[in-house]
Chains A and B, each alone.
Chain A
Amino acid sequence: MSEKNTKNERSAAGELLDSLYLDMFHLIEAHTQCRIDIERTSSDGSILLARTKFQQGGQSLSTAQIPAENSAEFNALCRVKKAADEDISIERHPVDKENGYVEPLYWFSVLPPMSLRSAVDKFKRTIDLIAESANLQRELSRVLDGINRLRQTVALQ
């Protein structure tokens, strides 16, 4: 009787393991696709940054314009919000100079050219994809932990 129970348990664990492996493959596919999309949008953004540098001069977009540790404090316009299902999404705060929400576009140019504005749109899209990728990565990590735990349990039986 107990041998039959063990056999049933092993078979149920095997089925669960199969389903977790299937989830893992789907998540790997989605994760890789998301990374390809990130690569595509960020390289589109980089090309637009290069165009801006070409038009405005090499030093127009460099580390020199980025605030350093001795600069005044400012807040991020873009933050990560957790939804009820533990997934994250991006929340954007409107520019509000008085409360420290400054527009980063003006660090680089007083009159930002069209190419720089388009680059901003590309990087904003990349940030949305980053949140999507982080959700997929966390889900994949949970599935991998589940597979590991189940394999250990099956091995102990």
Chain B
Amino acid sequence: MALHSAIKGKLISVIGDEDTCVGFLLGGVGEINKNRHPNFMVVDKNTAVSEIEDCFKRFLKRDDIDIILINQTYAELIRHVIDAHTSPVPAVLEIPSKDHPYDASKDSILRRARGMFNPEDLVR
């Protein structure tokens, strides 16, 4: 599987609202593999947080996925899982949605960068 995906190239997966998923699927990132596992999840108002978390963890385990796109509003719901993922692959990218613009202060990587400046360092 790993060798196969290395030759074919890896996938971009999407966890997002209907418009985000429709848009990226139109862009050609969608796939349903031989095991009938899609690389996208449409989240609506009835989707439980545990379902988003399970899907995210499933995508993390798949070795054919290189980038996970998630609407920042849903990333906020599973922040503890996203913060715990420190490996560079797959890269987790928080993207804006139609209703919620991108907020740099919530982005995991930028929060990590901000953590570099604690008051003790500035005093020294």
- Give me the interface of A with B, judged by CB distance under 8 Å: 21, 24, 28, 31-32, 35-36, 38-39, 42-43, 45-46, 49, 61-63, 65-82, 88, 91-92, 104-105, 107-108, 116, 119-120, 122-124, 126-127, 130-131, 133-134, 137-138, 140-142, 144, 147
Alpha-carbon distance between A91 and B21 when the two chains are bound, in angstroms: 20
Report if B52 contacts A (CB, 8 A): no
**By the criterion CB–CB under 8 Å, are B104 and A63 in contact?**
no
**By the criterion CB–CB under 8 Å, are A70 and B28 in contact?**
no
Contact of A127 among B20, B27, B104 (CB under 8 A): B27
Alpha-carbon distance between A63 and B66 when the two chains are bound, in angstroms: 24
List the 8 closest pairs (A to B, CB-CB), nearest first.
A79-B9, A77-B28, A123-B27, A78-B28, A76-B31, A80-B66, A134-B91, A123-B23
Report the number of A-B residue pairs with Cβ-Cβ less than 8 Å: 154
**Chain B residues near A38 (CB, 8 Å)?**
95-96, 102
- Give me the interface of B with A, judged by CB distance under 8 Å: 8-12, 18-34, 36-40, 42, 44, 66-67, 69, 86, 88, 91, 93, 95-96, 98, 101-102, 104, 107, 109-110, 112-113, 116
**By the criterion CB–CB under 8 Å, are B67 and A140 in contact?**
no
Pairs A–B under 8 Å by Cβ, sample size 19: A21-B116, A24-B116, A39-B102, A46-B23, A49-B23, A62-B18, A69-B32, A72-B32, A73-B34, A74-B30, A76-B28, A77-B28, A79-B11, A104-B25, A104-B30, A122-B23, A124-B27, A134-B67, A141-B109
